[in-house]
Amino acid sequence: MSERIACDVVVLGLGPGGQELATELAEAGLDTVGVEMHLVGGECPFYGCTPSKLMIRAADHVAMVHRADHLAGPATVEPDWSRPAARITDEATKGWTDDANAKAVQEAGVRLVRGHGRLVAPGVVEVEGVEYEASRGVVLNTGTEPLVLPIDGLADTPYWTNRDVVQVTELPRSLVVLGGGPIGCELAQAIARFGVAVTVIESDDRLLAVEEPESSELVTRLFEAEGIAVHTGVQVDRVEHDGTFVLTAGDLRVEAERLLVAAGRSNNIRDVGLENVGLDPDAKTVETDERMRAGDKLWAIGDITGHGRFTHVSTYQAEVAKADILGEDGPVADYRAVSRVTFTDPEIGSVGLTEEQAREQGLDVRTGFADVSGSARGWLDGEGNEGHIKLVADAGTGLLVGATTMGRTGGDLVAMLALAIHAKVPPSVVRRMHFAFPTYHGSVMTALDDLGL
């Protein structure tokens, strides 16, 4: 018989949303058990958002120095990877230890349990032979891991994933990035700016296939201008390694010193005991209702719910689940205005539906477009000013349903349009606002004029 310990709530997985939720439930007075098999804090601070953005920040400075030749005068830089590598290791991840995060949740009153947790019955989680019986229930937040691609020979090679590349202290001379999504594009550009010969291979017909075609086209053009080789619509048949990686795709043969596989992520739901609570472990996601309920005494938040693999979505869902667990009349989940940012240079901020998605839903679609480089701020900025604003509206309701803000500050600029979509602010109302001059907000006004609603 397994030892059984009573508690109020078990949070299985202490990534950003799980860590926040466990902390707040404990502070609200619930006997909360937090289960984590790896690092408290999850993918974002140790392998995702934080280390990758430190790499990108350093790489952007390299690019800015090169632009200074035209804008300010002769300038040179000798890129030194040891600088961002040291920031990642010493400042951000503390050598990939979670002492600070673990201490914080424990000081909040969470009972931290290390190990792999599995549901064995509604409200019951087993960890390393001990069962934790939660009177209120369990919150699943088990996250994702790098997708394993079924490519011949790949498994037998020392390829990198995002978890490996952020720990690199010396860059290779050449790198192939397999995957042209947000992670692949961000890392490809950052590493290329440190003098690495980079090739990106994407199976879809364009980079960043989830974004608007205009954004994909601009990223591809800028990548090629920076010397990054781009191959789209390519299915890799085989990967070999004998000191050097060799990727074969039909007649295409690419060689590089290192290979980074950044072709997506898979949800960690196959081995968490879903079958023991009436759910399908082979499903793609864990379905929830508007209060994040997934079943009897069960809630789910984060990547595994299928509403965007973003830290901000996970923490948003944590707030919804917390209110429901505490019996409060809290918010219900609303995903109409989920925003995302791809931190390439230029940045791509997106919210809501793309034009294609809106048409697939049968909406009476209207679009508005503005070239950011042609704005007053774009002209002032000069080199590095590429980008655009694209608005997607439903003429039937007269409301915005999607937007893309691509440019130097695209990741920040998208917030105003996310607010307009979330609060159902008519485009005409947004157009009558006054924005500081000269800023990139002026391009939003131009796109609204082009929209014509």
pLDDT in tens, 346-393: 999 999 999 999 999 999 999 999 999 999 999 999 999 999 999 999
Percent of the chain with pLDDT over 70: 100
Once rounded to an integer, what is the mean pLDDT over residues 385-412? Answer: 97
Return the pLDDT at 148.
86
Q: Is the pTM of this model over 0.75?
A: yes
pLDDT in tens, 120-170: 999 999 999 999 999 999 999 999 999 889 999 999 999 999 999 999 999
What sign does the CA torsion over 164, 170, 172, 176 have?
positive
Once rounded to an integer, what is the mean pLDDT over residues 174-191? Answer: 98
Once rounded to an integer, what is the mean pLDDT over residues 219-246? Answer: 97
What's the whole-number average pLDDT of the chain? 96
pLDDT in tens, 413-444: 999 999 999 999 999 999 999 989 999 999 99
**Residues for the chain: how many in total?**
453
In this predicted structure, the answer to whether residue 46 has a pLDDT above a threshold of 80 is yes
In this predicted structure, the answer to whether residue 58 has a pLDDT above a threshold of 80 is yes
Residue 17 parent element (H or E): helix 16-27
Quick check: 187 and 270 in contact, CB under 8 A? Answer: no
Q: Which residues, at least 6 apart from 275, have a Cβ–Cβ distance to it below 8 Å? A: 281
Once rounded to an integer, what is the mean pLDDT over residues 210-232? Answer: 98
Which of 111-115, 298-302, 330-334, 423-427 has the least mean pLDDT? 330-334
Return the pLDDT at 70.
84
In this predicted structure, the answer to whether residue 1 has a pLDDT above a threshold of 70 is no
Return the pLDDT at 156.
95
Percent of the chain with pLDDT over 90: 96
Quick check: 109 and 27 in contact, CB under 8 A? Answer: yes
Task: Give the integer Cα–Cα distance in Å for 408 and 64.
Answer: 12
Q: β-strand 347-352 against 399-407: which pairing, if any?
A: antiparallel
pLDDT in tens, 63-107: 999 899 888 999 999 999 999 999 999 999 999 999 999 999 999
* Exposure string for 397-406, b = 16+ CB within 10 A, e = fewer: eebbbbbbbb
In this predicted structure, the answer to whether residue 398 has a pLDDT above a threshold of 70 is yes
Task: Give the integer Cα–Cα distance in Å for 72 and 126.
Answer: 62
Going by the DSSP 8-state scheme, the letter that residue 120 receives in this structure is E
Quick check: 376 and 438 in contact, CB under 8 A? Answer: yes
**pLDDT band with cut points at 50, 70 and 90 for residue 331:** confident
Residue-by-residue DSSP string for 259-271: EEE-S-EEES-TT
In this predicted structure, the answer to whether residue 217 has a pLDDT above a threshold of 80 is yes
